[in-house]
Amino acid sequence: MKKQPLKHRDINWLYFNERVLLEAQCKDTPLLERLKFLAIFSSNLDEFFKVRVSQLRQLKDVEKSLRRKLALKGNKTLKQILSTVAEQQRLFGKVIEETLTELRDKGVFLREIQELDPEQHRFLQELFNREIKEQCQLLDFSNPRLIKDGALYLVIETASLPLQIVEIPSKQIGRFIALPGIQHNYIYLDNVVRLFLSELIPNEKVLGSYSIKISRDAELYLDDDYTDTQLVEKIYDSLGQRKSGQPTRLLFDAAMPAAMQQQIQKALDLGPVDMVAGGRYHNLSDFFEFDIESAGPELKYNPLEPLPHPVLSTCKDMFKAIQGKDQLVHFPYQQFDTVERFIAQAAQDDKVNSIKISLYRIAKTSALTDSILKALENGKEVLLFVEAQARFDEANNIKWGRTFEDAGAKVLYSVPNIKVHSKIALVTRIVNEQVEHYAYIGTGNFNAKTARIYCDHGLFTAHNKITSELNQVFEVLERKLIIPKTKKLLVSPFSTRNTFMELIQNEITNAEKGLPARITAKMNSLEDTKMITAIEAASKAGVEVRLLVRGFCRLIPKEPHEVKGKEKPIYITSIIDRFLEHGRIYLFENGGKEKMYIGSADWMTRNLDRRIEVLTPILDKDVFEELKDILQLQMADNFKARVLDANDTNRKVQVDTDRSIRSQYAIYNYLKNKYNAES
């Protein structure tokens, strides 16, 4: 059987990030929100170089026989990445310039040095002397390890000294300085430092200054992507040591003289491909903080306050409400305090004897963590699974884990070679000597902050079979059980892949019998080769396949004219809008008796085989219909959706109707109108 071609994961991820950039370019996106999308694009790209490009660079040093087993072509892929990034960076610069120009027309100014008036100059001189100067430490390139990953620097050329470097203290001061005079007048902190460089280097003539930023390699994260643990260890052994902290990209001002570029390249021991020309200003992820409260409403999204849940937000006893009927919650459309109140009630309820919860990304402070500590104070048995390998959140997670341990919780950390990515909680009550279980299974983290910007769903249920199976999952985490025996829940790495394969094969069989056959699925990323092969087989058999994939997607869909016979085209879209699409929903026609699952797993190899993931079936009829309505609104989006085609054109969905559907707003209005009507 001929192997199906697939898109390269890392190259395709860049086209996902391009969709973020295109949202910044959209004229229907308010101007200050465009800056946020530019910040997201910049932040995403920094992490991409830190992790994915880092991996390619490090694996170049691995002997060819091992690289072949991983099917890696580091040099070729790296060249294509750098070419694609360079093209996107040009668009990035163009969009920034257009956005800042339009903001000026609306009365928001980001001033250049030459635009300052005498009063503003005096103000900045005083600010520099009072707060900024003491934060500006001069360095040179004699010890390049002192140049921090991701920090912003000015390289200063003088008449007689070696190249000097000064870090822009944006973390201490803030990147944008409000100027006196007319409202909404700002200047980059970089330019304030530039303005007074002569005071940092007295008795020297400053010839020029140019911004640079270094991205350093993160630790090599192969465990997350490859299932052959022996091969992974061989790779680590062959590298000798993981090159954490090695410079992987130098972003520099394209106006920098060529001779200076060469000096810096040599001093940092960089190759030509590591030198990336950019604009005058770097670290534009700092635009996250450029939020003007008093700006006109046309510059920002209209407020969309989370709705109260029709049952859980007003009931006095959440356990009673959940016992009576499954309850579905949707974030950020509804209030996250339903989850917080669930744990808070468990902490105070004298009938609750245990709380079990998995925490993947823990907020630094939250009502949820307060409730967990209160439960311990009240003598509840608390079992917490804290993921110690949640990339870039490791330190905060471990800090909280120790805090909970000190308060008396039983805290478990990562299972060897397996991350715990599930979003699950289980509360046990003893009522009249009878055991009652209450479960929460979601698609997103237990994090109130991200719940305001991530689109996620969560199910509260007291269904006996689901809660008893979820208890088995926690027993696996506690090392009390090796394999959970589940018939309702899908649990990775034990049953998720096989069950999805069976569900897809069932659709193929039904299509061959002439029965209704359809697969509708929403996920963050589609990468797993076997799942892609199964989906392609389904489309060839006549199964209608409709996918919504926010991030990268390795499947190469055929154009309609390429589809022959009973085969049906696979149609894939992606939505980038004001909220981050994060929910995973899987719907199978099942011959007219539809089956639906929600949970934490994407169709990626690591989610199916290398992580603890939990997906729950939707058994309650009302909950099923509500979730299906929401899924259909997302699939019908013709305002923000873009088509994921074979050539990664990122073209917008063609509108062939007078009705414009912007799914995120449509979902909010759907929930608002539905429960207003019912009340």
**Which residue ranges make up each domain of the chain?**
9-288, 321-482, 491-678
Nearest alpha carbon to residue 55 among 226, 213, 212, 214 = 226
Q: Amino acid identity of 247?
A: P
Q: Please tell me the predicted confidence (pLDDT) of residue 178.
A: 94
> Is 550 annotated among the ligand-binding residues?
yes
Coil/strand/helix, residue 372: helix
Distance from C-alpha of 652 to C-alpha of 643, rounded to nearest angstrom: 6
Lookup: tokens for 219: 């630790």
What is the third-level CATH fold of 491-678?
Endonuclease; Chain A (3.30.870)
Confirm or deny that 582 is annotated as ligand binding.
yes
Cβ contact 184:231 at 8 Å: no
Tell me: is residue 111 an annotated ligand-binding position. Answer: no
Give the residue among 33, 17, 518 at the shortest CA–CA distance from 287. 33
Q: Could you confirm whether 421 is annotated as catalytic? A: yes
The DSSP code for 217 is P
Q: What pLDDT does residue 393 have?
A: 54
Domain 9-288 shares a fold with domain 491-678: no
Element (H, E) at 508: helix 496-512
Which tokens go with 396?
A: 């905060």
pLDDT of residue 363: 66
The pLDDT value recorded for residue 429 is 97
H-run or E-run covering 642: strand 641-643
Out of 3.40.50.970, 3.40.50.150, 3.30.870.10, 3.40.980.10, the CATH code matching 321-482 is 3.30.870.10
Is there a binding annotation on residue 454?
yes
In this prediction, residue 519 carries a pLDDT of 98
Helix (H/G/I), strand (E/B), else coil: 676: helix
Residues of the chain with pLDDT under 50: 1-2, 66-67, 69, 71, 223, 227, 231-232, 235-236, 238-243, 390
Token pair listed for 199: 């005071």
H or E, element range at 109 = strand 109-111
Peptide bond into 332 cis (omega under 30): yes
| pLDDT number for residue 67 | 45
Distance between CA 393 and CA 363 in Å, rounded?
A: 10
Cβ pair 394, 388 in contact under 8 A: yes
What is residue 260's predicted lDDT score, i.e. its pLDDT? Answer: 95
Class of domain 9-288: alpha beta
Structure tokens at 285: 């992820």
What six digits make up the tokens of 332? 């950020």
Catalytic residue among 330, 421, 457, 463: 421
pTM: 0.90
361 labelled as ligand-binding? yes
